Amino acid sequence: MVAIPRTPATLDDLIARGDTDRLEIVGGHVVEKAMPSPAHAQTEAKLAAAFDPYNRKPGGRGGPGGWWLFTEIHVSYPNGEIYCHDAAGWRRDRVPERPNEWPVRVRPDWVGEIVSPRHEKDDLVTKPRTLLAAEVPHYWVLDPEETVLLVHRWSRDGYIVVLRAAAGEVVRAEPFDGIELDVATLFGIEDDE
């Protein structure tokens, strides 16, 4: 018996499924993004709040600025994958106008994914391979269950982990090293005390 080659899913396949808010193309398949747990949702909200000083024009009031930052943003990659990233950002000096197309087709300068139970393979294996091939300079993985932050930097040989941090640590994490981040705050821990 000969296996029939399967054609990878396309943007048209994703749109045909209807509600695209929670859909992605991962590994050539249209998949539903994991429903966020309360810990995941809180981490995403805290991450957005922590990076607000960057989400403005450079030198603007309130922070270092220089970035377009989004949560739950669909990005299309050259290999046909379309991810709904938990967070992604573009440097304004490289992308002067806010990305407005859906999905965004311009490579991000930073991506942050929050690990969801039963979707670890996508966040730790599949997506990083696509981001590496697209030369996304920085990839963060946040694990709300373990309260761990991993910061990856792109290199031709593969992503290099340049920072491993856990709740209880205060760090400067590239590319946002202009401000200190309390890792516990990213996971909402201070709210529980």
**Averaged pLDDT score across all residues of the chain:** 90
CB 76 within 8 A of CB 130: no
**Sheet strands (E) in 23-158:** 23-26, 29-32, 67-76, 82-91, 110-114, 138-143, 148-153
Compute the distance between CA of residue 125 and CA of residue 112 in angstroms, rounded to an integer: 14
Long-range contacts of 3-12 (CB under 8 A, 24+ apart): 8/80, 9/80, 10/80, 11/76, 11/82, 11/103
| Other beta carbons less than 10 A from residue 186's beta carbon | 26
Report whether pLDDT(192) > 50: no
DSSP 121: H
DSSP 192: G
Q: pLDDT per residue over 61-81, tens digit each?
A: 777 889 999 999 999 999 999
Report whether pLDDT(114) > 60: yes
Domains of the chain: 37-72+86-192 (3.90.1570.10)
pLDDT at position 7 is 86
Structure tokens at 139: 């990839």
Q: Which residues contact 149 (CB under 8 A, 6 or more apart)?
A: 140, 141, 142, 143, 163, 164, 165, 166, 171, 173, 183, 186
Q: pLDDT per residue over 17-32, tens digit each?
A: 888 888 999 889 898 8
C-alpha separations of 187 from 37, 128, 184 in Å: 12, 22, 5
Dihedral sign of CA atoms 43, 46, 51, 55 in order: positive
C-alpha separations of 18 from 11, 32, 105 in Å: 12, 12, 20
pLDDT at position 1 is 52
Structure tokens at 21: 């808010």
Q: pLDDT per residue over 131-190, tens digit each?
A: 999 999 999 999 999 999 999 999 999 999 999 999 999 999 999 998 899 999 999 887
